[in-house]
């Protein structure tokens, strides 16, 4: 597996993966997904044998992004990075790609957003995403609130402290 920065040429593949993973991730148009990528401080793509297997987009405070989940964290945290979305194509799930992306996000956050002290995200409680809840708990994320979305979903707002740059092994 190769983890690399997102390129604009990845939009079609990432949109296809995103669409396949709704409702675990929010539905998004290609234009909306391109905007999210452009606003992100970290955008990664996982390739397996030349095929885009997954992606993630991470934002810092001050992004031009109207997501109510992102805004929830913006109102409560000064220095954070926000994982807007991560999606792995079904054929590549359960192979450690997500865990590798999270470790890379933490390393890159220390470099690109050194003031950030929290890694923030949300996970569905309704509809319940048990796999994601278990995964995030194992990585040290804890619930800091809940929010009902406009479409009737309930999400748990989660954070994990980011390591000090000196604590990160490269």
* pLDDT over 70, % of the chain: 96
pLDDT reported for residue 164: 59
Specify the pLDDT at position 151. 87
Class of domain 2-167: alpha beta
State yes or no: pLDDT of 4 exceeds 80.
Answer: yes
Give the per-residue pLDDT at 3. Answer: 97
pLDDT digits (tens, 9 = 90+) for 140-152: 999 999 999 998 9
Residue 25 pLDDT class (50, 70, 90 cuts): confident
The beta-carbon contacts of 25-31 under 8 Å, at least 24 apart in sequence, are 25/85, 25/86, 25/87, 26/67, 26/85, 28/85
pLDDT of residue 26: 86
SS3 content of the chain, % helix, strand, coil (to 5): 35, 30, 30
What is the DSSP secondary structure assignment for residue 22, as one 8-state letter? T
Q: Which residues of 25-167 form beta strands (DSSP E)?
A: 42-48, 51-59, 80-88, 118-126, 142-148, 154-161
Q: Where are the domains of the chain?
A: 2-167
Q: Average pLDDT of 21-47?
A: 95
pLDDT at 168 over 80: no
What is the per-residue pLDDT for 111? 93
What number is the average pLDDT over the span 41-62?
97
Cβ-based neighbours of 73, under 8 Å, separated by 6 or more: 80, 82, 120, 157
**pLDDT, tens digit, for every residue of 91-131?**
999 999 999 999 999 999 999 999 999 999 999 999 899 99
Of 26, 19, 3, nearest to 151 (Cα)? 26
Nearest CA to 43 out of 32, 54, 57 is that of 57
């Amino acid at each position: 597996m190769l983890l690399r920065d997102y390129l604009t040429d990845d939009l079609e593949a990432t949109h296809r993966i995103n669409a396949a993973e709704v409702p675990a991730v929010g539905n998004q148009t290609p234009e909306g997904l391109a905007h999210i990528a452009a606003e992100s401080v970290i955008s990664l793509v996982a390739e397996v044998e030349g095929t885009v297997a997954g992606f993630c987009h991470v934002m810092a405070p001050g992004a031009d992004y109207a997501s109510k989940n992102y805004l929830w964290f913006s109102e409560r945290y000064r220095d954070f990075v926000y994982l807007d979305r991560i999606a792995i194509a079904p054929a590549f799930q359960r192979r450690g790609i997500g865990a590798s992306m999270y470790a890379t996000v933490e390393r890159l956050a220390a470099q690109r957003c050194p003031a950030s002290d929290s890694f923030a995200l949300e996970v569905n409680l309704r509809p319940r995403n048990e796999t994601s809840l278990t995964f995030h708990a194992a990585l040290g994320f804890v619930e800091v609130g809940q929010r009902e979305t406009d479409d009737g979903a309930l999400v748990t707002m989660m954070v994990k402290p980011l390591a000090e740059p000196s604590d990160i092994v490269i």
